[in-house]
Amino acid sequence: MSAAPACPACDVAAEANLGKAGVCHLWRCACGLVFADRATWRDPYSDKDYYDPAHQPEEHYPLQVTATERDRIATVQRFTQTGRLLDFGGGIGRTALAAHAAGFSAIVLEDSHKAVSDGKTHHPEIAWLESKAIPDSIADGSLDVITLFHVLEHLTDPRASLAQIHRKLSPGGLLVIEVPNWGSHMRRLRGLHWQFVLDHHVNHFTAASLTRLVEKIGFKLGAVEFRRTFAVNETQGWKEPLKQLLCLLGFGDILRCSFFKSAA
Ligand SMILES: [Zn+2]
């Protein structure tokens, strides 16, 4: 067994090896972050486009915004009603389209060439940037809102990405992050067989460990919310109050935190 790897959130050696999950071991740091050992981890998407039809069902354009994306933007609207919003790792753009429909000036940042080229063709009403990081064309301090829905768990250097996000936001700007919730009772029950322990998830957060990491960058926590599942079930809306009840009991598998960039 190799030595404990350093935590990507705080550089301290991990305190516990949680066992092998897929290609590498998961470790837990004293700061609460659970992470994949970067020395043995391999990105399963390094040589392919995530949205290649060989791996994903083809999308039908124009895209329809669903209750899942409207629910995401409702969290943004709790705090701000207008401005320039960038959806970091925004995929095919449904969340950005929901933001556009709500009156925001919406930008998708996405590294899938297929998602961005299809998006530019079919949805020119939103702006598209094909990149893993926010490019220099977006000036520092020029964004009012940045959202990351199921992105931070994929980033090998979350601290560096959050530092860039902090620079690009205006003072008081809003950051909304949604990730799988390592603190969920479902994760405790399922252990490393939990549905969100996946080869391409390199960071696992609880509300406490996410808040610790993001506040160290220069943000202040605004709100913590939980969702039972990744998506709102549009055809069985009656389930949603039941799912919210399960969240109150600690079975929320999805964690959504809102932060504000502290005024300089
Ligand atoms: Zn740590």
| Interatomic CA distance for residues 177 and 214, integer angstroms | 10
157 CA distance to ligand 1 middle (Å): 12
| Residue 213 belongs to a domain | yes
215 CA distance to ligand 1 middle (Å): 13
Domain count, the chain: 1
182 CA distance to ligand 1 middle (Å): 15
Work out the end-to-end distance of the chain between its first and last CA atoms, rounded to an integer number of angstroms.
Answer: 45
247 CA distance to ligand 1 middle (Å): 26
29 CA distance to ligand 1 middle (Å): 5
Determine the pLDDT at residue 51: 87
217 CA distance to ligand 1 middle (Å): 14
Determine the pLDDT at residue 1: 55
Contact criterion met (CB below 8 Å) for 40 and 24 = yes
- Which tokens go with 4? 């404990």
Low-confidence ranges of the chain (pLDDT < 50): none
Contact criterion met (CB below 8 Å) for 256 and 75 = yes
1 CA distance to ligand 1 middle (Å): 20
pTM: 0.96
Instruction: Read off the pLDDT of residues 131-175 as tens digits, 9 standing for 90 and up.
Output: 999 999 999 999 999 999 999 999 999 999 999 999 999 999 999
| Residue 150 belongs to a domain | yes
CA angle 139, 91, 67 (to 5 degrees): 110
Closest CA to 83 of 72, 99, 67: 99
Determine the pLDDT at residue 52: 85
| Residue 196 belongs to a domain | yes
12 CA distance to ligand 1 middle (Å): 6
Determine the pLDDT at residue 165: 98
| Interatomic CA distance for residues 20 and 243, integer angstroms | 31
Contact criterion met (CB below 8 Å) for 86 and 145 = yes
Determine the pLDDT at residue 57: 85
CA angle 76, 231, 59 (to 5 degrees): 100
33 CA distance to ligand 1 middle (Å): 6
Determine the pLDDT at residue 264: 61
Which protein residues have their CB within 5 A of the ion that is ligand 1?
7, 9-10, 29, 31, 33
| Residue 125 belongs to a domain | yes
Q: In CATH, what number is assigned to the domain containing residue 228?
A: 3.40.50.150
Determine the pLDDT at residue 129: 98
Q: Which domain holds residue 183?
A: 62-261
Cα distances (Å, whole numbers) of residue 87 to 13, 41, 80, 176: 32, 26, 15, 10
Determine the pLDDT at residue 96: 98
